[in-house]
Structure 1
Amino acid sequence: MRALTAVLFLLTVAACGLRPASSFVPPVEPGSIRPVPSLQGTTVRVTSKEFTEQLVLGKIAVLALTAAGADVADQTNVQGSVNARASLTRADADLMWEYTGTGWITYLGQADPVPGAERQFEAVRDLDLRRNGIVWLPPAPLNNSYSIGVTRATAGRWGLTKISDMTRIPVDQRTYCVDHETFGRDDGFLGMLRGYGLEYGKDVPRGNVRRVSVGVLYDSVARGQCAMGMVTTTDGRVKALDLVLLEDDRRFFPQYNAAVTLRRELADAHPEIARIFAPISARLTDDVMRDLNAKVDVDGDVPVLVARDWLRSQGFVK
C-alpha cells in the first residue's frame, strides 16, 4: 500500500509540473552523515543507468549528498550503460555508481579482466583517471557479476553446476534468454560463449537465443521458456524465483564491484565526498543488494523509498 501511495504521489507531482516523477526526493535529515559546510550551495548532478540496482544506488547517492547539504540534481534513470557513462565524461553529470568490470572492459576497451577484486579496482581506477579524468572511490563488497541462471529442475535434469556444463544439454534444447544490452557485449553473452569455446550459430543456434527485456528475463527462465538465462548475481529475482547460478569455472567474467565514480574536478574540490560514501559502500554486500533489489522487483516498492529506508536503517539519515 505504501508503494502504491508513493507512486500516486509521484504521478500527481509530475502532473502538476513541479518536477519529473523520477527526480522526486523525499525529505531526509542528517544522521551519521553530517552537514558539510563546504557542500552548501554546491550542485552535484547524480546520474545512473535505468535498471533496478542502478536506480537504488543512484537514489542512495542523491539522498546521502542531500543529507550532507549539497544541492543535488537527480539525473538518474538514463537508458543504457554507454549513455549514462557518456554523461559523466562529457561533464553533463558529476557522479554515478559504476562497476569495475564494466569500466575496464566496456569503457576502457580492455580485453582481459584483471584477477582479484582489489587488483581489478586499482587497474580501472588508475587508467580511467589517466585517460578520462574520472575518479573511482573504493568499491563496495557487492559484486554484480554475470552468471548463467537455471531452474532447479533444469540443473537436476542435466547435472548442471558450472557454466561449462552447458554442453551437457543437447544443442536443440540449448536455449537462452538474454537481455538486449548484454547480448553483444565483450563481457556479455557472445563474449561468454567464446570464452567457453562455443560458436554462436553452431554450438548455440541463433534461433535458440531469445533477446528480451530485463523485466521479463528472469520470469522467462523460471517458466521454462528458455533453459538458461544470462542473469546478474545480485538481482533480487534470483532468490525470489529460486534460480540456480552456475559457477563461472573458467573465470571468464571480471569483477563487477560497485563504486562511486566522479569527475576529477568535483573530487578535487570536495574530497569530503569520499568520506561520505566510504561507510555506505562498506555495507553494500551481495546479500544486502539482493534484498534491496527484491524490494523493487518482487515487492513493487519505489527505488527512492527503498534507498531512503535502507539509509535510515543504517543510521546514515533520519
Structure 2
Amino acid sequence: MFKPLALAAGALLVLSACGSASREAAPAAAGGAPLDGVKLVIGAKDFAEQNILAHLTADLLQAAGATVETKEIKGSANTRKALEAGEIQLYWEYTGTAWITYLGNDEPIVDAARQYDAVAKADKEKNGITWLPAAPFNNTYALALSDEKAAELGVTKLSDLAKVPPAQATICVESEFAARNDGLPGLLKAYGVNVPKDNVKLLDTGVIYTETDKGQTCTFGEVFTTDGRVKALGLTALQDDKKFFPVYQGAPTVKTDTLAKSPKIAEVLAPLTRKLTTEVMQDLNAQVDVDGEDPSDVAQDWLDKEGLLK
C-alpha cells in the first residue's frame, strides 16, 4: 500500500508536532526494571498510524526502565535505512512492504502467517533484522462505499462488483493505484470486472474518503483498512474474497544485535502487540485523523485504559 510503501527521499525529520522527545526512564521498582540502562530511539514513518505505534511502543519501553526517544522519518525507505544504520533501534513495519520493497519479491504470499514467517526468516538471514511477533491488524487496500450504498446495491465483497450497473460502478482512486498491476487494473482483472475508463476518477487520498461518503462523484473509493475515516464516515470496506491484495500486517522490527543485548524488549512489547486488531487501529487512527488529537496522548490514554502501564 502506498502509505507504508512511500519511497520519498529526504533527510530524516525529527518529530516535533507529534510530541517527540527524549524520555527519561521511569523510576525502577525494587529489584530493578527489565530495561534499566537501555537507551532506544523508536522510529515512525510520517503518518498517524506510525506515530501512534511509535508512542505506544515508547511508553511501554519507558515504563520498563528504558530511556526512549521517538523520531518521525519521511517515507519507508528512509525509515528502513535509519534502522539499518543504527540511527533508530526499532520501528513498526508491514509484511507486504518488506516482502516486496526490501526483499525484492514480486508475488505476495496470500496466507498472513506464512507471509510473516517468510519475511521474518529472510530479513533476519539477509539483513540482521528481527521481526517481533506481528499484531493482528492488516493495513491493506480495500474498495469501500457508503453503508447506505452498500445496502442499496447489495454488495459486501469485491466479487459483487460484477453485478453493479455500469452507471453506478464509478471508482475514485489515487493516480498511482490506477496504474499499478497490484492496484486497480490487476484488481479488476482478477475479479473479471469491466469498468468504463470514464468511470475511474483520480483524486487525492483525503478527497477520496469524503467523495466516497457522498456517493455522487464515485460510488466506490480506494481506502486503507485501518484508516479511522472508514468507520467515522460510515463506509463499508468490501471483502477481498479472492485475496488479491497483499497482506500488510504490522510488527515491530529491530536490529538483531540490539535484541541480543536487550532481549527483554520482546517480552515488554508482546502484550501490546496482541491487542492491536484492525478495529483497534481504526479507532486510534480516527482519534488523530478525524478528531485532531495528538498521537502521544492517544497512545498513553489507550495504554492506561488497557492496563498495560501497570
Please classify the TM superposition score into its range, dividing by the shorter chain length: 0.7 to 0.9
Bigger mean CA offset, 147-156 vs 182-191: 182-191
Quote the residue 1:124 is aligned against: 119
Moved more, 168-177 or 264-273: 168-177
Q: In percent, how many aligned pairs have the same letter?
A: 41
**In structure 1, C-alpha distance between the alignment counterparts of 2:84 and 2:22, rounded to whole Å:** 28
CA contact (8 A) 2:171 2:201 kept: yes
Structure 1, unaligned stretches of length 5 or more? Answer: 1-18
Q: 1:52 to 1:35 in 2, by over 3 A?
A: farther
SS at match of 1:66: helix
AA of the residue aligned to 2:145: V
The residue identity in structure 1 corresponding to 2:283 is: D
Residues of 2 paired with 1:164 and 1:170: CA distance? 14
- Preserved contact between residue 25 and residue 66 of structure 2 (Cα < 8 Å): no
Letter in 1 for 2:230: V
2:61 to 65, 82, 92: 65
Aligned partner of 2:304 in structure 1 is 312
Please give the alpha-carbon distance, in whole angstroms, between the structure 2 residues aligned to 1:151 and 1:305: 30
Deviation per CA, 1:38-95: give whole Å up to 9, x if none. Answer: 744433221112222212111111222222222222112x333333233223433221
Scaled by the length of structure 2, the TM-score of the pair is 0.82
Q: 1:219 aligned to 2:202?
A: no
CA contact (8 A) 1:28 1:67 kept: no
**Aligned pair partner of 1:74 in 38, 59, 70:** 70
Deviations 1:221-248 (A, max 9, x none): 1022322111122222212211111111
User: Equivalent residue of 1:22, what SS?
Assistant: coil
Q: Shift of the alpha carbon at 1:149?
A: 0.5
Shift of 1:163: 1.3
**Residue 50 (structure 1) aligned to one of 46, 49, 53:** 46
Query: What is the DSSP-based 3-state SS (H/G/I as helix, E as strand, rest coil) of the residue aligned with 2:51?
Result: helix
Deviations 1:235-277 (A, max 9, x none): 2221221111111121112332211111122112111100111
The 5-angstrom pairing of residues 257-272 of structure 1 reads 257-272=249-264
Corresponding residue for 2:273? 281
Q: What does 1:93-104 align with in structure 2 at a 5 Å threshold?
A: 93-104=88-99
Distance 2:171 2:40 in 1: 41
1:294 and 2:289 correspond: no
Give the alignment partner of residue 83 of structure 2, picking from 77, 84, 88. 88
* Alignment check: 8 A CA contact 1:236 1:294 kept: yes
Question: How far apart are residue 184 of structure 1 and its match?
Answer: 5.7
Q: Does structure 1 residue 112 correspond to structure 2 residue 104?
A: no
Q: Distance in 1 between matches of 2:26 and 2:179?
A: 43
Mean Cα deviation higher: 46-55 or 170-179: 170-179
- The 8 Å contact of residues 175 and 202 in structure 2, kept in 1 or not, is answered as no
SS of equivalent to 1:21:
coil
- Matched residue SS, 2:203: strand
Query: What amino acid maps onto 2:240 in structure 1?
Result: D
Equivalent residue number for residue 13 of structure 1:
none
1:297 corresponds to which letter in structure 2? D
- For the 8 Å contact 1:145–1:255, the answer to whether it is kept is yes
Deviations 1:169-195 (A, max 9, x none): 455654333346756666544543454
Alignment of 1:112-191 (within 5 A): 112-169=107-164, 174-179=169-174, 187-191=182-186
How many residues end up aligned between the 2 structures?
A: 295
Counterparts in 2 of 1:166 and 1:274: CA distance versus 1, 3 Å: same
- Aligned pairs for 1:230-249 (under 5 A) are 230-249=222-241
Find the residue that maps to 1:87 and give its secondary structure. Answer: helix
TM-score of the two chains, using structure 1 as the length reference: 0.80
* Separation of aligned partners in 2, 1:317 and 1:26: 18
1:54 maps to a residue whose letter is Q
When residues 29 and 134 of structure 1 are mapped into structure 2, their CA distance, relative to the original with a 3 A threshold, is: closer
For 2:113 and 2:85, the matched residues in 1 are separated by 28
Residues 217 and 89 of structure 1: is their aligned pair in 2 closer, same or farther, counting only changes over 3 Å?
farther
Provide closer, same or farther for how the CA distance between residues 44 and 28 of structure 1 changes in structure 2, counting only shifts above 3 A. Answer: closer
Note the residue ranges of structure 2 that are not aligned, 5 or more in a row.
Answer: 1-14
Cα distance between partner residues in 2 of 1:28 and 1:299: 29
In 1, Cα distance between equivalents of 2:36 and 2:197 = 57
